[in-house]
Amino acid sequence: MYRRLSAVLFPVMTLFFIGSIYWGYQEHQEKNSVLIKAENQYQRAFHDLTYHVSQLHRQLGNTLAVNAASQGYQRKGLVNVWRLTSEAQNEINQLPLTLLPFNKTEEFLSKIANFSYKTSVRDLTKQPLTDDEHKMLKTLYANSEQISKELNTVQDKVLAKNLRWMDVEVALASEKSTNDNTIIDGFKTVDKEVSEYPEINWGPSVASMYQKRTINMLSGQMKSPEDIRKIAADFMGIQDPNNINVVENGKGTEYESYSATIELPNMNNPIQMDFTKKGGQLIWFENPRTIGKQALQAKEAKAKAKEFLEHHGYKGMKAINYDHYDTISVFTFVGSQDGVLIFPDKLTVKVALDNGETVGLQASDYVYEHHNRKIPKPKLTLEQARALLNPDFQSKSQQLALIKSDLGEEVLCYEFVGKINKGVYRIYINAETGIEEAIEQMPQ
């Protein structure tokens, strides 16, 4: 009996054994294929990064080599600098460096990209490069040479020793000692040298992009948790503020704020709110309640949103954008002053379409940007600005608006809303120079 049983089971087990070996071999081959593909992608990104940084150094040199009056070539050179820097940033993002401190180099490349873009988009015949900008380009040229040399040194070692990027990923992920990893050491050296460069004056347009919003930008008195409870209770129309839990964020830093949590009876999820510590201004709130069947149309929801803003002290706001998500409408409002739309004073309102209740507000832009402005008088008339539009553009409405330009500066424009190419567009014509500052396609 056992002999007959073994005669049956032995071939079956043999087949299972052979099958498992084949399956394991297939899995091994597939794993190797994935690893080889990942390694090839890392190698390509690294060598492209080395090449583009080298080309960046060369292009900065070419831009400096031309005559100061050659604005056309300067602009072309700065566009190429922006393109090459953007390529380098993209390649850094493809490398397994998330756990490796390389932020100084990334920030340095980011600032080069922003400076070159903002300088190239302006009219260099009217605003030529300043002496400070020429000095900055010379500094960037010298610094990029040093970065290029360090990356080329790492590249030579990678090629000479046939180093693998997969080993870098494993070393970083395992948090083991990486002192003997040539690639990691090379990138640490690059970042250390960049961090030791003297501070560069990037100019106001670039500096404004990296200006962080802190409590120092706000007015008003510092608020206590008890103050925030009362403010939150008043905003939500709650009689007893003691049911509101307030937590302080970023204590002792320039980003101090409060988070308030409100739990009410018959609510599945609590209402969440954030306030600035200085001035106690509402940054955002969210009421994640279940929303019933739609009963309101967009026009009615817009009226409810405007009524909500007026009730809470956001005066003179005008809706400029509308989005619809299932049973919620989201409206973007901007401020107005002396009949001019102030686009930096922006906030968004979420309205539930079952009963028109506002269930969300995002007001961080409004909190940090809202103030009285001295608005200049337009140098161009409305008709002069209209004449600069594409003849095929069918303008439906127009008004003055204050927007932020590509240089981060507030500029007065004529806003024209109309149709062209079967789409609805907003076109902003600078009320002083007549150039098209911005074009935005709107939902139908």
- DSSP string over 146-170: HHHHHHHHHHHHHHHHT--HHHHHH
In angstroms, how far apart are the furthest CA atoms of the chain? 107
Mean pLDDT per 10-residue section of the chain, whose length is 444 residues = 57 62 56 70 87 91 83 87 90 76 82 86 83 87 89 85 75 57 80 77 63 71 91 88 86 83 80 91 90 90 94 92 88 93 94 92 91 92 93 93 86 94 91 90 75
Residue 182 is inside which H or E element, if any? Answer: helix 182-195
Give pLDDT tens digits for 402-418: 999 877 789 999 999 99
Asked if 277 contacts 221 with a C-beta cutoff of 8 angstroms, the reply is no
pTM of the entire structure? 0.69
Which domains does the chain show, CATH number per domain?
2-201 (no CATH), 217-369 (no CATH), 382-442 (3.10.450)
Asked if 71 contacts 17 with a C-beta cutoff of 8 angstroms, the reply is no
3-state secondary structure of 279: coil
Q: In angstroms, what CA-CA distances link 133 with 50, 199, 201, 204?
A: 26, 14, 9, 12
